Structure 1
Amino acid sequence: MQILIAPRVSEKALRLADNHRQFVFKVLPNATKPEIKQAVEFLFKVKVDKVQVACVKGKQKTFGRIQGKRKDWKKAYVGLQEGFDINFRVGE
């Protein structure tokens, strides 16, 4: 299950998790919604309700006189069914 790269932990992601049971993951660029759903259900033993994906464009950056670009990446918003939860917070 190499589809999921890492969870995205930010203020927005934590707000979505608390209010709407949605969790944000960085996923492979060629991952599909059914593959993401299957990977989350297998790894975290939860039931997924819906999956939304967003392709994030890499930023243009300047390093001195050198122009560069960060890689494009894909993130998935995974909504869980009622009664299921994933806990990423350490120390709780």
Structure 2
Amino acid sequence: MANLKYYDVILKPIVTEKSMNSMSEKKYSFSVHPEATKTQVKEAVEKMFAGTKVASVNTMNLEGKNRRRGNTSGKTSKTKKAIVQLTADSAEIEIFTGL
């Protein structure tokens, strides 16, 4: 298990049409550190965003895509995505409001 601080776990929010539609169900998508666990993601969200209470966390590992530039081929980095479900009485996450 990685020795990560809560501010190192969440890298950035994921803003797509699908993630914006799921916000009505209090589900928020984040790009997280590849070695972060579900428990670490839950603690990070509750500490970084005041008044939030996490009900569940779903994570997925995304493989890197194959890329080519001329004759050279390679892969992009692996990433990890987390979808965080908040409880009904939890506060909204302000970073997503107004988008």
State whether TM-score is above 0.5.
yes
The sequence identity of aligned pairs, in percent, is 33
SS of residue in 1 equivalent to 2:95: coil
1: CA distance, partners of 2:84 / 2:40: 12
Per the TM alignment, residue 89 of structure 1 is displaced from its structure 2 partner at its CA by 4.2
Contiguous gaps of at least 5 residues in structure 1: none
Contiguous gaps of at least 5 residues in structure 2: 1-5
Residue 42 (structure 2) pairs with residue 37 (structure 1): yes
Residue 95 (structure 2) aligns with: 88
1: CA distance, partners of 2:29 / 2:75: 24
1: CA distance, partners of 2:75 / 2:23: 31
SS of residue in 1 equivalent to 2:80: strand
Residue 15 (structure 1) aligns with: 21
Residue 28 (structure 1) aligns with: 33
Residue 12 (structure 2) aligns with: 6
Residue 70 (structure 2) pairs with residue 71 (structure 1): no
TM-score, normalised with respect to structure 2: 0.85
Matching of residues 50-61 of structure 1 within 5 Å:
50-61=56-67
Aligned length: 91
Tell me the C-alpha RMSD between the 2 structures.
Answer: 1.5
Find runs of 4+ consecutive structure 1 residues off by over 2 angstroms. 87-92
Residue 53 (structure 2) aligns with: 47
Aligned CA distance change for structure 1 residues 86 and 73 (closer, same or farther; 3 Å): same
1: CA distance, partners of 2:23 / 2:44: 18
